[in-house]
């Protein structure tokens, strides 16, 4: 099944690299699993605050230019813990810079974007995924975030639209509309786990959102991007390639010695 889903992923992305070369060491057990929802293959990755940290990353240490690819990120030294997942983290401009609120290591690189405009980002309400590395992690729609969050989080990324808002689907999403693309998103469940999702075949907004609501029981979920969606899953030796991307979300194993 995993090989079949991986093949679908390769066919739908511009390019990707997949390897299936025996078992990985225990410390490299994948947090991702293939799932099938209404005949659409998805990859579901779960970060648990008891075991993992979450952060954002835009560019190499001491540099201003974004990575623009998971391959470039994978080649960097990773001294802050074992990376178990990296994923594109939301929408960006032509230079790879985030177009919405973006915080990395407690530094705000972009302010909260509450403007009207075209495109998926402005299919309001949009939202913010944010928190501290070891938790708690949260997803809030943008206006709620602006009202309720006073202290700057350690990490944050703003994108849009929201997929699920307080247990309800975004009001402007059809149950299974005609716009179907490779898509990725994030949601946080009642126990505080973050659920990262990427489709392995084109999927509608509505179906993608319903998986969060109906299967994962996530009250708030955020769309990150479409068509460019990619992941790096080191345990499965999956390193997606494709169009240039912007900021990244990174999940690492907790350092038990801290």
- Predicted pLDDT of residue 78: 83
- Predicted pLDDT of residue 115: 94
Judge whether 258 lies within some domain. Answer: no
Judge whether 111 lies within some domain. Answer: yes
Cβ 206 vs Cβ 169: under 8 Å: yes
Sign of CA dihedral 171, 177, 183, 186: positive
How far apart are the C-alpha atoms of 56 and 53, rounded to whole Å?
10
Confidence of residue 111 (pLDDT cuts 50, 70, 90): very high
Nearest one of 52, 54, 257 to 154, comparing CA atoms = 54
14 or 215: which leads in pLDDT: 215
226 or 17: which leads in pLDDT: 226
Cβ 63 vs Cβ 251: under 8 Å: no
Please tell me the total count of domains within the chain. Answer: 1
How far apart are the C-alpha atoms of 199 and 236, rounded to whole Å?
17
Q: Say if residue 107's pLDDT is above 80.
A: yes
Q: Say if residue 13's pLDDT is above 70.
A: no
Is residue 98 classed as helix, strand or coil in its secondary structure? strand
Q: CB atoms < 10 A from the CB of 95, how many?
A: 11
Find the range with the poorest average confidence among 15-19, 81-85, 198-202. 15-19
Convert 135-170 to b/e letters by CB count within 10 Å (16 or more is b): bebbbbbbebbeeeeeeebbbbbbbbbbbbbeeebb
Averaged pLDDT of the chain: 90
Kindly give the pairing relationship between strand 52-57 and strand 248-253.
Answer: antiparallel
Q: Which two tokens stand for residue 114?
A: 């509450």
Judge whether 143 lies within some domain. Answer: yes
Q: Say if residue 45's pLDDT is above 80.
A: yes
Q: Which domain holds residue 59?
A: 2-253
How far apart are the C-alpha atoms of 58 and 245, rounded to whole Å?
10
How far apart are the C-alpha atoms of 57 and 52, rounded to whole Å?
16
For 65-90, what is the mean pLDDT? Answer: 95
- Predicted pLDDT of residue 80: 82
Judge whether 8 lies within some domain. Answer: yes
Confidence of residue 257 (pLDDT cuts 50, 70, 90): low
Q: Say if residue 147's pLDDT is above 80.
A: yes
Judge whether 84 lies within some domain. Answer: yes
Q: Say if residue 173's pLDDT is above 90.
A: yes
Judge whether 120 lies within some domain. Answer: yes
Find the range with the poorest average confidence among 76-80, 103-107, 111-115, 198-202. 76-80
Q: What is the pTM of this model?
A: 0.89
Find where tokens 């509505």 sit. 206
Q: Which two tokens stand for residue 252?
A: 């690492």
How far apart are the C-alpha atoms of 128 and 245, rounded to whole Å?
18
Cβ 247 vs Cβ 233: under 8 Å: no
For the chain, give the percent of residues with pLDDT over 90. 84
- Predicted pLDDT of residue 255: 81
How far apart are the C-alpha atoms of 1 and 34, rounded to whole Å?
8
Q: Say if residue 174's pLDDT is above 80.
A: yes
Q: Say if residue 2's pLDDT is above 70.
A: no
């Amino acid at each position: 099944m995993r090989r079949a889903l991986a093949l679908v992923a390769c066919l739908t992305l511009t390019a990707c690299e997949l390897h299936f070369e025996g078992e990985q060491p225990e410390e490299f057990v994948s947090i991702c699993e293939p799932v099938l929802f209404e005949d659409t293959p998805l990859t579901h990755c779960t970060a648990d605050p008891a075991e993992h940290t979450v952060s954002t990353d835009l560019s190499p240490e001491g540099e201003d230019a974004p990575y623009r690819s998971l391959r470039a990120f994978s080649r960097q030294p990773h001294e802050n813990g074992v990376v178990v997942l990296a994923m594109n983290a939301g929408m960006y401009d032509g230079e790879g810079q985030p177009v919405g609120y973006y915080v990395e290591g407690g530094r705000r690189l972009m302010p909260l974007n509450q403007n009207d405009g075209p495109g998926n980002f402005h299919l309001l309400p949009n939202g913010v995924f944010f928190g501290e590395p070891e938790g708690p992690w949260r997803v809030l729609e943008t206006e709620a975030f602006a009202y309720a969050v006073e202290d700057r989080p350690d990490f944050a990324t703003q994108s849009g639209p929201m997929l699920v808002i307080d247990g309800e689907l975004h009001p402007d999403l059809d149950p299974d509309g005609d716009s179907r693309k490779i898509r990725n998103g994030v949601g946080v469940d009642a126990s505080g786990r973050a659920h990262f999702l990427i489709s392995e075949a084109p999927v509608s907004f509505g179906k993608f959102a319903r998986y969060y609501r109906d299967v994962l029981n996530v009250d708030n979920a955020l769309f990150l991007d479409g068509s460019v969606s990619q992941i790096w899953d080191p345990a499965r030796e999956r390193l997606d390639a494709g169009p240039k991307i912007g900021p990244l979300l990174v999940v690492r194993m907790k350092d038990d010695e801290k």
